[in-house]
Structure 1
Amino acid sequence: MVFRSESVWLWLVSLDGHKDKLPVSPGTDHFSAEFVPEQDGVYTLAIGHAAKDLGGTTKYQFNATAAVTVGQPKSVAAATPNELNIAVGQPGVGYKVGQPVSLAAVFKTKPAEKLQIAVHSPTGWNRAIQTNANGQAEFTPLWPGTYYLEGSQSEKEAGEQGGKPYKSVWRCATYILEVCD
């Protein structure tokens, strides 16, 4: 699959919640971007990409966020950069095996109630969890390594993309976190 830089949006969410679109440079199989932090804290990077073509009458949108810790964090970016977000409750905090990880999911700036989130562990273990009325969920990692979180939501929403009408939008949000022993 080939992506064009004009079809990918990378946002930096500053500690005060301000969003800046970062210019991206395409590589062979990746994009690169840079930013210079103004102070210590946990910043949020968010990427959004709409599929070039509709799937029938459905628009597909993919979103991901990542926390970037700079120095000794005293504050965290207040971020809801995409229409569907999954984030950990305390970005920048080290996660450990056997200790619960709190998640928060947001859909269009409101808590995403009853969102199914798939948790994929580094060993291949998978588990589905669901957010509560406040958009919160929790899981306890059993192994060290990289965990991949994914949630998706569809809604009826009419519009046009590339000159073609759509009747619904499917959004996917991902988040990756590292767990230590």
Structure 2
Amino acid sequence: MKYIKHLLIIVMMLFVSNQIVQAHAIWIESNPVGTKNQSHTIRIYYGEYASGEIEKTKDWYSDLSQLKLNLLDSKNKQVELHLTDKGAYLESSFIPVEDGIYQVFISHPAKELGGTTRYEFIAQNRIQVGKTAAYSSIPLDTHFVFANQLLKVKDQVEIQLLRGNNPVENEEILLMSPSGWSKTYKTNNLGKIQVEVIWPGTYVIEHSHMADQSGTWNNKSYTKNWQGLTASFQVK
């Protein structure tokens, strides 16, 4: 009887752990416009943006606080940026030395499984320095494409979801506003959604995907693989 009671407790703990992980994400915040030869600050948060819940780094899931932040510069050269733990977020900075598009991104599979699910946390942001530049690819399997500029209230924002270079059709993208309002959109045949921004502040977009996938991760078997992708943009 005692064994069954302990087993039920473990199962419940795993279930709760799964629910917590699925409800949380990492996201990157930074000014979308940078200035050449001036330091540009980047911050990484973990929690539930829609409800204003930000976890302290000591409470981040598994080894998520040990993630790596990568920078793809205007010449498509990739470097890892140093991160400083600020307690409520991780912070980094870089100095752009040329005009162009700079992209920061994270792709971190958590060390621990949630039950039998492997969790991958993915986040991206784009920073424009100088004149407008054409879209450049980013080394993430799934990623967003959207205008990297300071937007204004009532602007229409086009967001595209790509897997590789291919549009992802009929998939959900969650838009979370700084007011706490959020809405789920479905991509069209071009992998795009159109949203109107009606409050100033930082918006976070999120796409998650759960796949039946079997394998071994850190000597433990998993049967599902979850990917959560986020990006953010700012509205004046």
CA distance in 2, matches of 1:4, 1:55: 13
TM-score normalised by structure 1 residue count: 0.83
Flag structure 2 segments of 5+ consecutive residues without an equivalent: 1-58
CA distance in 2, matches of 1:24, 1:157: 32
CA distance in 1, matches of 2:64, 2:111: 12
Tell me the SS of whatever aligns to 1:98. Answer: coil
Tell me the SS of whatever aligns to 1:143. Answer: coil
| Equivalent runs, 1:20-39 vs 2, <5 Å | 20-39=79-98
Q: Number of aligned pairs?
A: 177
Instruction: Give the CA deviation at 1:67.
Output: 1.7
Match of 1:156 in 2: 212
Q: 1:161 to 1:26 in 2, by over 3 A?
A: farther
Instruction: Give the CA deviation at 1:109.
Output: 4.2
Match of 2:143 in 1: 85
Match of 1:46 in 2: 105
Higher strand share: 1
Which has the higher mean CA deviation after the structures are superposed, 128-137 or 6-15? 6-15
Instruction: Give the CA deviation at 1:170.
Output: 0.7
TM-score normalised by structure 2 residue count: 0.66
Matched, 1:10 2:69: yes
Instruction: Give the CA deviation at 1:76.
Output: 4.8
CA distance in 1, matches of 2:65, 2:174: 30
Q: Deviations over 1:134-166 (max 9, x none)?
A: 221110111222212111112233332111122
Q: Deviations over 1:10-39 (max 9, x none)?
A: 111223444333343444343343433231
Amino acid of the structure 2 residue aligned with 1:33: S
Tell me the SS of whatever aligns to 2:94. Answer: coil
Flag structure 1 segments of 5+ consecutive residues without an equivalent: none
Match of 2:193 in 1: 137
Check whether the contact 2:161–2:167 (CA below 8 A) recurs between aligned residues: yes
Identity %: 27
Check whether the contact 1:86–1:151 (CA below 8 A) recurs between aligned residues: no
Instruction: Give the CA deviation at 1:77.
Output: 5.6
Check whether the contact 1:4–1:26 (CA below 8 A) recurs between aligned residues: no
Larger radius of gyration: 2
Provide the aligned C-alpha RMSD in A: 2.4
